[in-house]
Amino acid sequence: MLQFLASQMGPANSDIERLFTELGPDGEPYMWPLLQNSSHIVRGMACRVLAKIGTEKSLAELTRLLGDTLSNRDAKVAIDIIQRREVDRS
């Protein structure tokens, strides 16, 4: 069910983005495939969700987007936020 919902994420479905944000780290793995989506809008939404809920487990997935000219900024922001959050936890 969550995998299906994740596949429906897009600009017209902000409720889905909110749902995964509310799931917290449990929703994290469902965002990873979206980072490979053909739409830079969907990739950006996945980055924004991961910035809110992601852990160090998402860093490798986000790093792959750094070479993507349309998504690298969103990925950099998410990486920075996750890294700061992980430092604060330790």
Domain that holds residue 32: 2-89
| Domain total of the chain | 1
Type of residue at 10: G
Residue 51's contacts (CB-CB under 8 Å, 6 or more residues apart) are: 77, 78, 81, 82
Summarised one tens digit per residue, pLDDT across range 10-56 is: 776 778 888 889 999 999 999 999 999 999 999 999 999 999 999 99
- Give the separation between CA 64 and CA 14, rounded to whole angstroms: 24
Q: Which 8-state DSSP code applies to residue 55?
A: -
Q: What is the pTM of this model?
A: 0.89
Summarised one tens digit per residue, pLDDT across range 52-69 is: 999 999 999 999 999 999
Instruction: Please report, for the domain that includes residue 64, its CATH number.
Output: 1.25.10
Question: Quick one: which of 60, 50, 57 has its CA closest to 81?
Answer: 50
